[in-house]
């Protein structure tokens, strides 16, 4: 992990009492006491310094698709990551792309597919920004960003310098990374470097993708064919942002698929008493279970609603905030799902979105 000092300064524009609900896909939550839109790296550092001089906390906001903001708002400063830019160079049969953290993720994926660069096609349609992808080790339909990330540039907010993490440094795991496991706010992702394969074959590793391609008669699908197939599957589950979709106000999957040991699996099997329970063996000997299946097994069907919140009508993993919903309603419903699944199925589901605290 290499580091370089940051020394340039810029004038900081700090806004006050900025509503955050319109900036998040759930559409709930209060205002930021202070707010900065960071369009360059120096502004990110300036905003962090500004907060620390005033003994305030800071939060980082990207696309707002993986966060639940409290109704009381945020007492400190919210730094909106708006860094933009994409550069590419081809060498040794590969293309390396340096992408700023504020680039919209699906726009970037669309670009790579259009250029014939393989490696991200199955990650189409995922909301959010590029900077969030290494933190979550974003994955879907048989691909994860950890397969193509070469390096991550980030601001070390404690040492006040820019550092570069190699792929190994990132500590990638299932929907996890060293950034996510570490101290919140310790690092701010500034840009991500990807390595893709020019004119490479698309990844077809997921049963749903294979089935859809077969139904369309695609025996030799292109990257574009796979992208369109993934988008079709996601739209059918309301997992693509669409202003006309009744399920649009969500964070997508609210819970992670649990990965359990063989001993823990025995406990779950004894609780659910269903040999048809979906499961997938993992390389480390553990077993991945379907959180959606467990939720439905616990009695919560798609479209289940309690007051102003409920499950998506198309996917049991998505919690939807309806008109009048508050963040507290979303969190309470999520906690009830967790408790009921744990009681009935013997496993506690972990939440995927970040639940912000006021301070």
Active site residues: 175, 253, 352
Burial 312-326 (b: 16+ CB within 10 A, else e): bbbbbbbbbbeeebb
DSSP string, 234-281: HHHTT-S--TT-TT-SEEEE-BPPPEE-HHHHHHHHHHH--TT--EEE
Residue 71, burial from CB neighbour count under 10 angstroms (0-12, 13-18, 19+): middle
Helix segments in 31-75, DSSP class H:
41-53
Q: State residue 36 phi and psi, 5-degree precision.
A: -130, 130
What's the DSSP call for residue 38?
Answer: E
Site of tokens 């993708």: 209
Nearest C-alpha neighbor of 41 from the set 126, 106, 131: 131
């Amino acid at each position: 992990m290499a580091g370089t000092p940051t020394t340039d300064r810029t004038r900081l524009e700090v806004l006050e009492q900025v509503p955050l609900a319109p900036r998040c896909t759930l559409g709930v939550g209060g205002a930021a006491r202070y707010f900065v839109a960071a369009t360059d790296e120096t502004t990110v550092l300036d905003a962090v310094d500004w907060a620390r001089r005033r003994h305030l906390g800071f939060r980082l906001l990207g696309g707002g698709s993986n966060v639940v903001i409290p109704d009381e708002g945020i007492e400190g400063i919210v730094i909106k990551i708006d860094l933009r830019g994409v550069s590419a160079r081809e060498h040794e049969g590969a293309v390396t792309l340096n992408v700023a953290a504020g680039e919209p993720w699906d726009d970037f994926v669309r670009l790579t597919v259009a250029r014939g660069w393989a490696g991200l096609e199955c990650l189409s349609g995922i909301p959010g920004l590029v900077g969030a992808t290494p933190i979550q080790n974003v994955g879907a339909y048989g691909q994860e960003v950890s397969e193509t990330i070469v390096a991550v540039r980030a601001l070390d907010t404690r040492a006040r310098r820019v550092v570069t993490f190699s792929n190994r440094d990132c500590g990638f795991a299932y929907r996890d990374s060293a950034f996510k496991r570490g101290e919140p706010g310790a690092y701010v992702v500034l840009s991500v470097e990807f390595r893709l394969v020019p004119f490479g074959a698309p990844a077809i590793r997921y049963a749903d993708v294979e089935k859809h391609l077969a139904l369309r008669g695609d025996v030799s699908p292109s990257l574009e064919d796979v992208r369109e197939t993934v988008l079709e599957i996601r739209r059918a589950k309301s997992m693509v942002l669409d202003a006309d979709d009744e399920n649009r106000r969500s964070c997508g999957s609210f819970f992670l698929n649990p990965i359990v040991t063989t001993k823990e699996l025995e406990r779950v099997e004894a609780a659910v008493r269903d040999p048809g329970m979906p499961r997938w063996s993992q390389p480390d000997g553990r077993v991945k279970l379907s959180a959606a299946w467990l939720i439905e097994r616990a009695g919560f069907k798609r479209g289940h609603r309690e007051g102003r919140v409920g499950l998506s009508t198309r996917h049991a993993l998505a919690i939807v905030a309806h008109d009048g919903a508050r963040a507290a309603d979303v969190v309470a419903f999520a906690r009830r799902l967790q408790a009921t699944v744990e009681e009935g199925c013997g496993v506690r589901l972990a939440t995927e979105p970040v639940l912000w605290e006021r301070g």
